[in-house]
């Protein structure tokens, strides 16, 4: 199978072209000599089956950032038939040098001048024929968002595939040291082939940036905008979650309950309470996950997320992070899973690992459900908001404190370089394609881990046979007794220790496990907790739930995104140790003060 690689600077629309070319039917793959996963997909060009690889955005093949290293390593270690160079036509004066570098490497190349519609609006006139003669390769104007010129681009790629066999790394390696004078050559070519107005008209973008990037108003406006986004996600997502719950109950009653008298009790329990509930756990994430990705794709395509990273970069740099890390933390308050997946925009592995390490401390919506229930049960209406606010503060302190402690080991010297694209109206097709790709990746990667985890918890709570689920003689009950010496110093008894075992699978299960073990629900369960827990024990428990081992889907995503079992294990153990220490200081301190 022949291979096409997409190369270009950040924010050139390369990924948009990739999605349009392949239909976003992509997968993530490992490649020789490359330390990060790359997006790849198969498609048909002409009569040829082609593998298309979307390489990271780079500024220069000579650079030493992780991005440039990934691109060089890929081109040096993997045969490539066509290098498709995607340039932003509105910034061709800054980007032509990259095409000239690749030209000197003597690769089989096609150049796509993307955002041609925006370039035309700005009065930029490009002599395509002259560029083709100078670069000795096919060139065409394109708008990957609208589809303008897309068919011609496909035809050019198909013709280029017919003309030359696959090339290998020695060509690239031999050419790179000898391309002095690229900047001068690019300047001369631009003077002959490109007519650019002295002042590019970006009035709408400039007017918006005066407000949205204001040194005083910028951050508050960003918080308001993201609050509206999250409110929209959960306002729309809650009815959808209820619909999924209703559908699962309906399927259970119609398709599974009739087998209760047919199958042996252990088999029925495993299939229904284990595997089916495992799928249900994943399904409960899906409505929010789908809405989250689609809405965030919408916001990102407008160009606003790049500005959020710019606004917060100076603050986050003090903690060893950058502006994108703040955006990912903010995403984590909705759900840690998509926030972890969102770190793919970071190509510095150390920076990405540090960011992934702090995201699980974000107070996600699943934890919020637990805290709302417990604060309602054990605190007055005036106290409850203060308790919730204090948990959000602890969440931020834990995340940023972790970054400060570990930034030395995960230090990244890569400068934070950011192109601020003009504001754009997103196209529905691209938003749906990008959103679906992320949803598909989540379902494919996380589902198997969730199911295995839920089955394991079911076995722990139902065996040995003859004891109530989660009872003292079940494996889960024995586990609770085993954990009690560890957790009693922080005010958590054996019963609540079992609840924490359930919480490892998904924090939503915490309340359900309390219902299952006590046989109480609603007001009765709240009264029971009020009688059996002091407010100090309750707050210590909430601190532990906030900080301890994240849910199984988060652990699975950590493993798949970091591709490191050692890092995932460290993340889990660090979170557990920090949770225990913080809860210990609070609980024992409160006892010393007489509470």
Q: Which of 212-226, 305-319, 425-439, 499-513 has the lowest mean pLDDT?
A: 425-439
Q: Is the pTM of this model over 0.75?
A: no
Query: Quick one: pLDDT at residue 274?
Result: 65
Encode pLDDT of 266-293 as tens digits.
787 777 766 776 566 556 667 766 777 6
| Distances from the Cα of 241 to the Cα of 280, 309, 368, 502, angstroms | 11, 31, 16, 20
Between the CA of residue 221 and those of 204, 225, 230, 308, 316, what are the distances in Å?
Answer: 18, 6, 14, 10, 18
Contact 475, 498 (CB under 8 A): no
Q: Which of 269-273, 310-314, 491-495, 584-588 has the highest mean pLDDT?
A: 584-588
Domain ranges of the chain: 2-201
pLDDT at 476 over 80: no
- pLDDT band of residue 157 (cuts 50, 70, 90) is very high
284/240 Cα distance (integer angstroms): 9
Looking at residue 195, its pLDDT comes to: 87
Find, among 386, 363, 401, the residue nearest to 543 by Cα: 363
Three-class SS of residue 523?
helix
Phi, psi of 334, rounded to the nearest 5 degrees: -85, -60
Cβ atoms of 92 and 128 closer than 8 Å = no
Q: Which two tokens stand for residue 75?
A: 């081109």
pLDDT in tens, 347-357: 678 888 999 99
Which pLDDT does position 262 carry in this prediction? 82
- What is the pLDDT, as a whole number, of residue 401? 92
More confident residue, 437 or 167: 437
List, for residues 31-76, the tens digit of each pLDDT value: 444 445 577 888 989 888 899 998 888 888 876 666 677 788 888 8
pLDDT for position 347: 65
Residue with tokens 């948990």: 391
pLDDT of residue 525: 76
For 179-229, how does the pLDDT look when each residue is reduced to its tens digit (9 = 90+)?
567 888 888 898 899 887 755 555 667 788 888 888 888 878 877 877 777
Question: What is the DSSP code string of 538-578?
Answer: HHHHHHHHHHSS--HHHHHHHHHHH--HHHHHHHHHHHHHH
Q: What is the C-alpha R_g of the chain?
A: 27
Which architecture does CATH list for 2-201? 3-Layer(aba) Sandwich (3.40)
Which ranges of 91-164 would DSSP assign to H, the alpha helix? 92-104, 116-121, 128-135, 150-163
The pLDDT value given to residue 1: 84
What tens digit of pLDDT does each residue of 42-54 get?
898 988 889 999 8
């Amino acid at each position: 199978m022949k291979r096409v690689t997409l190369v270009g600077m950040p924010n050139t629309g390369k990924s948009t072209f990739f999605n349009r070319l392949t239909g976003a039917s992509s997968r993530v793959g490992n490649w020789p000599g490359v330390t990060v996963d790359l997006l790849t997909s198969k498609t048909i060009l002409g009569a040829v089956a082609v593998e298309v690889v979307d390489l990271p955005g780079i500024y220069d093949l000579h650079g030493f950032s992780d991005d440039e290293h990934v691109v060089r390593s890929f081109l040096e270690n993997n045969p490539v038939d066509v290098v498709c160079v995607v340039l932003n036509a509105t910034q061709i004066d800054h980007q032509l040098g990259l095409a000239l570098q690749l030209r000197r490497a003597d690769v089989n190349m096609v150049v796509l001048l993307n955002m041609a519609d925006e370039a035309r609006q700005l009065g930029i006139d490009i002599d395509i024929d002259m560029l083709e003669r100078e670069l000795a390769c096919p060139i065409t104007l394109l708008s990957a968002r609208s589809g303008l010129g897309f068919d011609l681009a496909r035809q050019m790629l198909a013709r280029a595939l017919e003309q030359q066999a696959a090339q290998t790394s020695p060509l690239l390696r031999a050419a790179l040291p000898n391309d002095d004078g690229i900047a001068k050559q690019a300047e001369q070519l631009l003077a002959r082939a490109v007519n650019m107005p002295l002042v590019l008209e970006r009035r709408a973008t400039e007017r918006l940036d005066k407000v949205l990037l204001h040194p005083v108003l910028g951050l508050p406006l960003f918080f308001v905008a993201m609050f509206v986004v999250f409110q929209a996600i959960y306002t729309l997502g809650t009815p959808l979650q209820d619909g999924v719950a209703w559908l699962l109950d309906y399927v259970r009653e119609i398709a599974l309950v009739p087998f209760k008298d047919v199958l042996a009790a252990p088999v029925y329990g495993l299939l229904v309470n284990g595997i089916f509930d495992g799928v249900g756990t994943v399904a409960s994430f899906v409505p929010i996950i789908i809405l989250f990705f689609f809405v965030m794709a919408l916001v990102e395509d407008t160009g606003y997320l790049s500005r959020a990273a710019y606004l917060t970069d100076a603050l986050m740099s003090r903690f060893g992070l950058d502006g994108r890390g703040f955006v990912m933390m903010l995403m984590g308050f909705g759900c840690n899973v998509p926030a972890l997946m969102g770190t793919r925009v970071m190509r510095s592995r150390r920076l990405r690992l540090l960011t992934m390490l702090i995201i699980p401390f974000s107070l996600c919506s699943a934890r919020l459900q637990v805290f709302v229930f417990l604060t309602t049960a054990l605190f007055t209406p005036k106290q409850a908001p203060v308790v919730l606010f204090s948990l959000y503060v602890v969440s931020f302190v834990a995340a940023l404190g972790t970054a400060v402690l570990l930034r030395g080991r995960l230090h990244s010297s890569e400068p934070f370089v950011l192109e601020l694209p003009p504001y754009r109206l997103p196209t529905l097709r691209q938003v749906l394609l990008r959103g679906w790709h992320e949803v598909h990746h989540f379902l494919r990667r996380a589902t198997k881990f969730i199911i295995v985890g839920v089955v394991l918890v079911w076995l722990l709570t139902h065996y040995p046979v003859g004891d109530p689920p989660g009872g003292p003689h079940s494996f889960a009950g024995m586990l609770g007794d085993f954990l009690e010496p560890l957790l009693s110093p922080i005010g958590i008894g054996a019963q609540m220790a079992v609840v924490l075992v359930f919480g490892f699978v998904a924090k939503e299960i915490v309340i359900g496990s309390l219902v299952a073990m006590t046989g109480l629900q609603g007001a009765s369960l709240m009264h029971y907790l009020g009688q059996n827990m002091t407010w100090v024990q309750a707050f210590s428990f909430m601190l532990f739930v906030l900080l301890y081992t994240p849910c199984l889907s988060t652990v699975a995503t950590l493993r798949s995104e970091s591709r490191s079992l050692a890092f995932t294990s460290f993340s889990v153990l660090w979170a557990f140790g920090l949770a225990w220490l913080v809860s210990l200081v609070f609980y024992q301190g409160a006892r010393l003060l007489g509470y």
